[in-house]
Structure 1
C-alpha cells in the first residue's frame, strides 16, 4: 500500500516532532516535509505534492485558513489543526476548501484517523462543529433554522430552565417541550443543554 503523503505545517518544533514521531509508527502515513509558516508551506506543497496538508491554524505569518485555497491547488486535501475553534471557524475552513478541522487536544490515534479519512475524500468535522458547517454551506444560519418556539426554548434554557420548566413557562405539554429541546440540540450540534447554550452564546444567538 502506498502511504498517504503529508506535509505538516506547525511552527512549534516540539509539537511537530511529536506528531512526526507518532505518525512514523503508522505504516500508511508518511510525513514528507515539515513547514513552520504559510510561506514555507506553499513552497513545500509545490515541491512535494502531498496527499494531505496538516495545517496549524495560527502561524507566524497569519491565519492559515486564508491559505487553504493556495495549498489545495495541487490537489492536496487540507486538514486544519487548531487549539480551539467554534462552529464559525469550522465553517470558514469548509468555505475556504478545507477538508476538516481537528482539535489539538485530540489523541494522536484520532489525528491519524482524520488524516486517513481526509485522504480518502471524507470531510472530517467534529459533531460540535457539523451543524455550523452545514448551515453556512447551505446559506443558512442557526438562528434562521430555529423556529419561534425553538428560539423561545433556547432562551429559557439559557435561563437554566429544565424541560419541565419550559413546558410550564410556555404552556405546552411536557413531551412537546422535550421535543423542542431535542431539536434545539440537534440544530446547534450540541450534546447537552449546557453545550447548546454555550454554542448559542458563541454564535450570537442569545442577547
Structure 2
C-alpha cells in the first residue's frame, strides 16, 4: 500500500478549517500533517512538514493564498486553492501564481477529496466556475503576471487576490517575485522573446495537457510510461518558465492552439 498523501490545510476560519480537516482525515489515503490559520503560519508549516499538497484559502491574515503559492511550491508541495468566490480575477491570479487547481467551497466533499488526489498525481483541477474564467481569458483577456497576481491591490481597486469565504477588505502587501523566481504565464506568453525549443515529445505532451488529459491518459495515448510523461512535462515547464500544469495548458492554447 502506498504512503498516504501528506496534506497541509490553511484557512483562517476555524469552523471551515476543522470541517476540511475532518473530511480529509476521513479518507484512508490522506493524512493532514499540519494546519495553519494565516499565510505566515502556512509557509512555516510547509517548510517544517514538507507536505505533498497544500490546500489553502485565499485571504488570510499575514498573506493571501495567492501571495504564498510560489513559496509553497518551492517547498515541493502542489497547491490547491479553495475559495468562497469564483471571481475571474481570483481564479486567474491563483493560476498565474502557480496554483495547480482552484475550487469553490460549495463543491461536494467527494469532489474536494478527488481534487486533492488529482493534484497530488500532478493533474490540474478546476471548478466549473474557474474553467469559465480560463475560457474567457483565452478569448482575448490578458492573464496577470505572477507579480500582478501576488500584489495586493489598493482598497476599491480591481482585485487579483483570491478570496475564499471572507469579506475582509485588507491584506498585507506582498513583495514582488524574488531572484530566480519564475514569471507568471502572462510573462511567458506576452513577451517578444522567442519560445525555447521544445522536443517533439514535449510538444506532444503539452498538446494533450491542454486537452485536459491526466498523466495516465497521456501515457496511454502516447504508449509510454507515466514517468516519461512527467519527465517531458517537467522539462517543458522549465524551458517555458512556468510553474504548473494549468499554466502549461494555458500557454499551449495561447501559443499553439
Please classify the TM superposition score into its range, dividing by the shorter chain length: 0.5 to 0.7
Gaps (5+ residues) in structure 1? Answer: 143-207
Residues 83-120 of structure 1 show CA distances to partners (whole Å, capped at 9, x for unaligned) of 11222321111110001111111121111111111111
**Match of residue 67 from structure 2:** 66
TM-score by length of 1: 0.63
**Match of residue 140 from structure 2:** 140
CA-based RMSD? 1.8
Shift, 1:132, TM fit: 3.0
Structure-2 separation of matches of 1:14 and 1:66: 23
Gaps (5+ residues) in structure 2? Answer: 143-257
Residues 54-86 of structure 1 show CA distances to partners (whole Å, capped at 9, x for unaligned) of 001110224321111111101101111111122
5 Å-filtered alignment, 1:47-62, equals 47-62=48-63
Shift, 1:7, TM fit: 0.5
State yes or no: 1:113 paired with 2:114: yes
Structure-1 separation of matches of 2:87 and 2:15: 25
Structure-2 separation of matches of 1:32 and 1:68: 18
Shift, 1:131, TM fit: 4.4
**Match of residue 92 from structure 1:** 93
Structure-1 separation of matches of 2:101 and 2:25: 22
Larger Rg: 1
Count how many residue pairs are aligned between Structure 1 and Structure 2. Answer: 141
The structure with the largest helix share of the pair is 1
Shift, 1:23, TM fit: 1.5
The one of the two structures with greater contact order (alpha-carbon pairs below 8 A, sep at least 6) is 2
